[in-house]
Structure 1
């Protein structure tokens, strides 16, 4: 049995970064990845990078104003080819970076625990067991497919991962789920030229967001031609090679919708099913995630978990920050996963970005003097220059301390702007710092002057 200082299960952002770091220190590292199509993790292969490549191409598709669906479909095919080129290039780059170290060994296979320190690797031809002094889990998450009658048998049904392999532009894309993943796909497929229908079980649109901003988002997406059917309980799915049909119920009335592709975007679950965590004595949460402390240490002190599998926010940069948390724990540092300000962006058109609390959340947490400020995107000069005046910006302030509690930006380039607010929050700065900051002109960032000057 080969023995390693560190066994890392999963080639995601946190895992591959940790592998490179430890190997660079001279430690012997085993990095296990069950698919040679997943070097670099979900983000590079079936998540952030391919979808954002398609978001960019979809923006170009709208700008080109194609006359026919055939022209749109051809551009979509070329966009998928460019997406694939980008993914394969980054996948190889990630593999080569780890493989370049003499101290790192990459195993193509599925890892599962045999004991606290032993991991069995199911290889393409046979199996091998390795010993890890320390073990790190970075297996990410997988699409959750609900048990809807007919779903598993129907044709033309996709998850957010498998839809990225579809070479033909759907004339009508049906999406189950109005969460962030579903909205991103709805937005860029509508831009490519597909008719899009979103079926959402809940009656509240993006329920975790500020209500005023959520309504602005829904209105903007509807203007793109996206149809939202709320409080829709899916009853049956049927589909052949020609079409897919969804039967649903709203208010006790049965309805059907027919399309040529169905995206099931009903959430993602931590990828722990194949790990046999019970054999290592590792405790899990009700959703299957590894239970960890603020140092991302599991119930076994030598086993850690990073990223989606640890049950937190499912973003690749959280996995990267979990690497920093783990590295701090290994070196006796004090950096932990507690009280992090984690920004996020939903790449719809325009993008929706947020960090911290909404007004409702701030009041629910007991803040006594909550102040807010709002700014319509049309009031931003750069938004007019870009001919992208859609949106709304909102900030939430602790009136007693002047600290920023949170902000939601629904506007062009919000995914860049939100990082400046996150930095101000990390520094504990007064909102007046942004209200009086000197920004270049004309930029979207200078809207922060007006937004935070409007605090009341």
Structure 2
């Protein structure tokens, strides 16, 4: 470990590890500080995307027998998930270390904009750097309710290590994270109840899409309780109120899934001149530079889009400003797409009808039932609805795909939007057959 570096990256997330390795390969002296050895590689591979999607994939293969048989399948799946994340954790460490980056295990806090104090198991170390990149990610929001830390109460991270399949699972929160776990545990064989404070299910999405998603979840026996104010959690019980009436829900496990927030606690941003938002996110410009001239921030810690592929693109923007031609920004990376890995998955890019109406944009709705797709019939996965918004001239404003393999299809639509490809071009495109993507031929007919 040296006392000074050209660049110090704080946090081993997607952007951080990518930039650390690239800067080191370019001849810069680089250190990467990570406070938790279990987080080499970041949230995605350790406690987020990869382990949850491995569980989701295996949940769809859950046996049809008795609960005991399902529980055994679940236990085996969790064990395999742990092996996968351990292997990826080590591979990420080895890959970054092989480029010459000094990986420092410890907690970093800014002393000023050119110095950090790293608390390690051997004591505090002061490190100086010309430039810093903050990539400390996000942490689970713990609602302010009594018993949130009780036995049998989990977060989206800790529940993935639960080895016993709960017969009854209560999920506090009806957002995307809560829905993924609801769909997954229902597929595993749990009786799932979602309890949310809002009166409207999936308020960000169009009503027809939200209705279709709700119907599929309820067909899996997932119960959705809206307008509920949770007051207390304890092992085996959740207490809440609806319209002033007190209610109790019995369960074997409770999952708190009300969101994530930027992880800036203890980072000492106030000492470095780095400004934070009211929610603790690092304030950045379109080049991801903070209010301190020599400090950048990337990924979830910015308090905006919490997706690993956005963190990766953030790394491109920062690299381009420091080492490139400074043309990439957060404002010119094109349409933004995302997927929610329920079963079937829901994916979206660009505007919804709600967005278009709010912006006063004229549009035409194109829609298609998933049941009309030949490949969906082949897969026996015919639930869902496909929907696109286009202008009169065929310009694509957005799309919402609730169907099997939508997470692959949405990328094609994003590419089309980014490059000005019109609806008629997709309607006449030659797709292979039988595929889910060929449904876009029918969806985009005007």
Pairwise same-fold verdict (TM > 0.5) = yes
For residues 331-350 of structure 1, what are the structure 2 equivalents within 5 Å? 331-339=324-332, 340-350=334-344
Q: CA deviation at 1:355?
A: 0.5
For residues 5-404 of structure 1, what are the structure 2 equivalents within 5 Å? 5-61=6-62, 64-65=63-64, 67-102=65-100, 104-152=101-149, 154-239=150-235, 244-330=236-322, 331-339=324-332, 340-367=334-361, 369-399=362-392, 401-404=393-396
Matches of 1:378 and 1:139, distance apart in 2: 43
Length, aligned pairs only: 443
Matches of 1:249 and 1:161, distance apart in 2: 27
Matches of 1:310 and 1:135, distance apart in 2: 15
Any conservation in 1 of the 2:13–2:41 contact (CA below 8 Å)?
Answer: yes
Matches of 2:199 and 2:104, distance apart in 1: 46
Any conservation in 1 of the 2:231–2:240 contact (CA below 8 Å)?
Answer: yes
> Mind listing any 5+ residue stretches in structure 2 that lack a counterpart?
none
Q: CA deviation at 1:150?
A: 2.5
Q: In the TM superposition, what whole-angstrom CA distance separates every residue of 1:371-407 from its partner, at most 9, and x where no partner exists?
A: 11010100111101100000000001122x4211110
Any conservation in 1 of the 2:205–2:354 contact (CA below 8 Å)?
Answer: no
Matches of 2:130 and 2:325, distance apart in 1: 17
Q: CA deviation at 1:151?
A: 2.1
Q: CA deviation at 1:341?
A: 1.4
Between 244-253 and 316-325, the greater mean CA deviation after superposition? 244-253
Three-state SS of the structure 1 residue aligned to 2:214 is helix
Any conservation in 1 of the 2:152–2:234 contact (CA below 8 Å)?
Answer: no
Matches of 2:264 and 2:417, distance apart in 1: 34
Matches of 1:151 and 1:12, distance apart in 2: 27
- When normalised by structure 2's length, the TM-score is 0.98
The list of structure 1 runs, each at least 4 consecutive aligned residues, that deviate by more than 4 angstroms after superposition, is none
Any conservation in 1 of the 2:12–2:33 contact (CA below 8 Å)?
Answer: yes
Q: CA deviation at 1:433?
A: 1.2
> Mind listing any 5+ residue stretches in structure 1 that lack a counterpart?
none
Three-state SS of the structure 2 residue aligned to 1:378 is helix
Q: CA deviation at 1:146?
A: 1.1
Q: CA deviation at 1:250?
A: 1.2
